[in-house]
């Protein structure tokens, strides 16, 4: 059982200069969620007495705005007015932390760490630090050990000589440290290094030596320590995260034809027996029932809900779209702000014209309705149960189609069809 004396600090005070987008790195999209949210969500899975987020002055405004609208608004924010290294950053947070306890230190740009890895770290007696063995350790601090294998030093990448640079075990920068001893160690830091900064690693090593802390090596999942310093890093990390998400879905019974070309974001629900075709994109918040078929080349955006057995085919885009059981939209259509009834069929080239230039409006398609190819449904509008629209029909706003009726033309008008010829 984890101690209630655990406190969590996430460092996100960087100026994002290497990202070069002009905005904060912390809010870059990673599989449908801000980069920082991945870290906060994982950290929040651990019971802690307090949670603190350290920000820099440059990007404080947009990050605080996002935080206030998120599920993490209870995190306490502190400011690092001037960036002088990771040791200085932790020191800037000390005034809002208690005098004693244990402090878990994380970085806002390391989004792949799992709850299990953090739990192993905080449960280590005497505290600890996370390490991993990387084929290419460039950019990371190296773990230097003595002959018996005990931790002797942590050398930052900029301070490595040729021999030290060849070491493949690296420091993840994630620590669980005795807070009272850390305060003393931070006060004794100097900036005598290549960067001229106060290194947290120096203080952390001193704390671990005094408390008998250990290293926790992520032997089976070294990719968890990957950080995001550039947009190239972001693409690499996103690829790793997408693969993990797809593996979770496949383990739960979802058929993914080609994981290499399938993009599924965070918080997507897919029922067992559903099949996702190549080059499909499923955005965060999409919910898919059992036995559905999506793709290839489908784009399901936020608010899309497919009931069991529904089908979305190639080059179909949906947003805020609900498809009932067995409903189909197989080709070249846009379905936005629409509810499609069970077993309705949406013909190729159908468009729900949901935006009038000022506001979005909703379309309702009844059960077993048949929407002909090339139909435009101008919202707000309702197409009734068992109704039919002819190919190329334009059903204008507020001109609802009655149950069982057939409409054709531009604008669409009722077509009187003998009852014997109407679809069932």
At 60, phi and psi to the nearest 5? -60, -45
Residue limits of CATH 3.90.550.10 in the chain: 6-230
The pTM of the whole model exceeds 0.85: yes
Residue limits of CATH 2.160.10.10 in the chain: 232-421
Residue 332 near residue 343, CB atoms below 8 Å: no
* Segment 242-252 mean pLDDT: 98
Query: Is the pLDDT score of 110 beyond 60?
Result: yes
* DSSP sequence for 313-343: EET-EEEEEEE-TT-EEEES-EEEEEEE-TT
By annotation, the residues acting in catalysis are 331
pLDDT tens, residue by residue, 33-68: 999 999 999 999 999 999 999 999 888 999 999 999
15 pLDDT tier (thresholds 50, 70, 90): confident
* Segment 81-108 mean pLDDT: 92
Query: Is the pLDDT score of 413 beyond 80?
Result: yes
417 pLDDT tier (thresholds 50, 70, 90): low
99 pLDDT tier (thresholds 50, 70, 90): very high
DSSP code, position 355: B
What lies within 8 Å, CB to CB, of 84 at 6+ separation is 191, 197, 198
Residue 360's SS3 state is strand
Under CATH, which architecture does the 6-230 domain have? Alpha-Beta Complex (3.90)
Residue 236's SS3 state is helix
| β-bridge pairing 406-408 and 388-389 | parallel
Query: Is the pLDDT score of 3 beyond 80?
Result: no
* Segment 269-275 mean pLDDT: 98
* Segment 177-182 mean pLDDT: 96
Percentage of the chain exceeding pLDDT 90: 82
**What's the rounded Cα separation, in Å, for the pair 88 and 50?**
20
pLDDT tens, residue by residue, 345-366: 999 999 999 999 999 999 999 9
Query: Is the pLDDT score of 418 beyond 60?
Result: no
* Segment 252-275 mean pLDDT: 98
**To which H or E segment does residue 174 belong?**
strand 169-178
* Segment 401-411 mean pLDDT: 97
What lies within 8 Å, CB to CB, of 136 at 6+ separation is none
pLDDT on residue 197: 79
pLDDT on residue 4: 46
pLDDT tens, residue by residue, 201-213: 889 999 999 999 9
pLDDT tens, residue by residue, 292-320: 999 999 999 999 999 999 999 999 999 99
Structure tokens that stand for 415 in this block: 């077509």
pLDDT tens, residue by residue, 139-166: 899 999 988 888 888 898 889 999 999 9
Q: Which of 296, 271, 275 is nearest to 286 (CA)?
A: 271
Phi/psi class of residue 126: alpha, beta or left (left: φ > 0; alpha: ψ in -120 to 50)?
left
- Lowest mean pLDDT across 172-181, 203-212, 345-354, 409-418: 409-418
Query: Is the pLDDT score of 423 beyond 60?
Result: no
CATH of 232-421, one of 2.160.10.10, 1.20.1250.20, 1.20.1730.10, 1.10.287.110: 2.160.10.10
pLDDT on residue 279: 98
Residue 392 near residue 415, CB atoms below 8 Å: no
Residue 242's SS3 state is helix
**What's the rounded Cα separation, in Å, for the pair 173 and 106?**
7
pLDDT on residue 420: 55
Residue 25's SS3 state is helix
Phi/psi class of residue 85: alpha, beta or left (left: φ > 0; alpha: ψ in -120 to 50)?
left
């Amino acid at each position: 059982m984890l101690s209630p004396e655990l406190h969590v600090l996430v460092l996100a005070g960087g100026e994002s200069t290497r990202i070069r987008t002009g905005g904060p790195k912390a809010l870059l999209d990673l599989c449908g969620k801000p980069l920082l949210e991945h870290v906060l969500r994982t950290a929040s899975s651990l019971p802690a007495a307090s949670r603190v987020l350290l920000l820099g002055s440059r990007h404080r405004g947009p990050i605080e705005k996002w935080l206030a609208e998120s599920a993490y608004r209870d995190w306490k924010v502190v400011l690092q007015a001037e960036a002088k290294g990771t040791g200085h950053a932790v020191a800037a947070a000390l005034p809002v932390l208690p005098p004693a306890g244990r402090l878990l230190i994380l970085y806002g740009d390391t989004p792949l760490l799992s709850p299990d890895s953090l739990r192993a770290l905080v449960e280590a007696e005497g505290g600890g630090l996370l390490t991993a063995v990387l084929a290419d350790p460039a950019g990371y601090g190296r773990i230097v050990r003595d002959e018996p294998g005990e931790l002797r030093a942590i050398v930052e990448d900029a301070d490595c000589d040729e021999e030290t640079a060849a070491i493949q075990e690296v420091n993840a920068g994630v620590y669980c440290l005795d807070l009272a001893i850390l305060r003393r160690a931070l006060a004794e830091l100097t900036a005598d290094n290549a960067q001229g900064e106060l290194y947290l690693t120096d203080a952390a090593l001193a704390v671990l030596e005094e408390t008998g802390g250990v290293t926790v090596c992520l032997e089976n999942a070294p990719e968890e320590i990957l950080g995001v310093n550039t947009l190239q890093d972001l693409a690499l990390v996103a690829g790793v995260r997408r693969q993990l998400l797809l593996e979770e879905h496949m383990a739960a019974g979802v058929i993914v034809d080609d994981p290499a070309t399938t993009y599924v974001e965070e918080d997507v629900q897919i029922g067992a027996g559903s099949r996702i075709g190549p080059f499909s994109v499923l955005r965060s918040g999409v919910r898919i029932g059992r036995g559905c078929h999506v793709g290839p080349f489908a784009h399901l955006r936020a608010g899309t809900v497919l009931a069991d057995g529904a089908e979305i085919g190639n080059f179909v885009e949906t947003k805020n779209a609900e498809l009932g059981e067995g409903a189909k939209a197989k080709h070249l259509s846009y379905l936005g702000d629409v509810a499609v009834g069970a077993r309705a069929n949406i013909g190729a080239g159908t468009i729900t014209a949901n935006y009038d230039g000022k506001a979005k409006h909703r379309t309702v398609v009844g059960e077993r309705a048949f929407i002909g190819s090339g139909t435009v449904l101008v919202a707000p509008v309702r197409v009734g149960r068992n109704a039919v629209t002819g190919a190329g029909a334009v059903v204008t706003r507020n001109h609802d189609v009655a149950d069982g009726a057939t409409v054709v033309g531009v604008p669409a008008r009722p077509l009187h069809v003998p009852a014997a010829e109407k679809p069932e």
